[in-house]
Amino acid sequence: MGAAGSKLEKALGDQFPEGERYFGLENFGNTCYCNSVLQISSQKKKTGVIAPKRFVQRLKKQNELFRSYMHQDAHEFLNFLLNELVDILEKEAQTAAKTDPETPPPSEKIANGFKNGHGHANGPQKEPLITWGILTNETRCLQCETVTARDETFFDLSLDIEQNSSITSCLKNFSSTETLNAEDKFFCDKCCSLQEAQKRMKIKKPPHILVIHLKRFKYMEQLGRYKKLSYRVVFPLELKLSNTVEDADIEYSLFAVVVHVGSGPNHGHYVSLVKSHNHWLFFDDENVEMIDESAVQTFFGSPQEYSTNTDHGYILFYESLGSNNN
């Protein structure tokens, strides 16, 4: 990225943030899924190209899923990376606990964005090594009105999407009430039998960093394969999270987007957009360039099913504007 780096430095000029680093990452055949996630991080120099060869080698050694040259999923990589980080922190915490009894308990591992079993029965809970958000799964028996609540900690929210919708509407659908009846009846402990019930999911503790995964790859029964949904889903620069237990609006600001480029789930490319010091940067493997904030909306998706635009927002990263979630 020598020329591209120089171009970026010239574009920013005196506005180049002190101490900030903007690097492209070399692609080793099919590692854009990895680069697009890693580029939401910091480097040591101002601009240039880094070849994360050892990282990719370790990744392939740790997980056979990423060993082939087939198109990989950036969301799967993100969850794998986070699980590995939790494992490392867990081992470090266990080692430290042998010498320091005051060390906080290790974090639990997540799977597919969620992990269960939050909370400790005895004594106050210490701050975990990695802070997740907390979801409350509420089920209300329609016979005795008893409400059963179960907490789940999460890193990201995977949302079903619809054509010409918005993140706000997707979040409302995520927290909408579902009726359990017929073969899906709920076993009520108080009634000691299967009963019709209503279930809903609400956010009990909003995370400081809210990651939203748009479910753009859907299995189509009639096709017998996965299909990419190019739906236009508007994601705002400023997001108000209203589906919380306390019914209090939590404000978030968009700071990064992983974009899937391509018409199908088994081929394509990943790039990322990152906001840094009020500047939006476009990362495409080795190439990094500055873009206007207005360009972010070009990645909402396509208003029609068949479109020449195949660049669609896939993973969204929001940061809380409040200080109480830090």
Q: Cite the active site residues.
A: 32, 269
Measured distance CA(57)–CA(255) in Å, rounded: 29
* Of the candidates 202, 189, 183, 176, the residue with the CA atom closest to the CA atom of residue 148: 189
DSSP assigned state of 245: T
235: enclosing H helix or E strand: none
The alpha carbons of the chain give a radius of gyration, in whole angstroms, of 22
Beta-bridge partner residues of 50: 25
b/e sequence 260-277, b meaning 16+ C-beta within 10 Å: bbbeebeebbbbbbbbbe
DSSP assigned state of 124: P
DSSP 169-210: HHHHHHT--EEE-GGG-EEETTTTEEE-EEEEEEEEE--SEE
Measured distance CA(190)–CA(194) in Å, rounded: 10
Strand duo 217-220 + 225-228: pairing: antiparallel
